[in-house]
Amino acid sequence: MRAKKVTTEHSRCLKCHRPLRNPSPDGLGPKCRRKVRRATREEAAHPKWQVAKAAELLELGAVIPLRQNRIFLVVADDGTEVYRTAATGQCNCPAGLRSVRCYHAVAAHLLAA
């Protein structure tokens, strides 16, 4: 019996599922890799506590895409409220209504990227 060769290279992009012309060890195609890099650069512009709270929301599955990764429903910390948030930064939470960038918008932006 022949053993299967285990490889870490992917034949399809993990993000958009398009076939890759050149196998990629990270599993991303060139366009998706650029988007992820751009998002991580923009992530550095947010306070660290907002990025940590946004990552927690993503881990808990508290960010639900509604329309083509543009509009999201985001559950509040205590689980009693659900906010409608756009990846561009608009949110109907109390901070978002005061035009302050909230961690709900950061989570939506990270998920859209």
Q: Between these two residues, 112 and 82, which has the higher pLDDT value? A: 82
Confidence grade of residue 5 (pLDDT, cut at 50, 70, 90): very low
d(CA 80, CA 9): 43
For residue 83, the model assigns a pLDDT of 94
pTM of the model: 0.60
Kindly give, in sequence order, each residue whose CB lies less than 8 Å from that of residue 110, ignoring residues fewer than 6 positions away: 39, 43, 54, 55, 58
> Where are the chain's structural domains?
1-45, 47-113
DSSP label of 2: P
Task: Please state, as a whole number, how many other Cβ atoms lie within 10 Å of the Cβ of residue 91.
Answer: 24
Separation between Cα atoms, residue 26 and residue 19, nearest integer Å: 14
pLDDT, tens digit, 9 for 90 and up, residues 29-77: 888 888 777 766 665 677 888 888 888 888 888 888 887 778 999 998 8
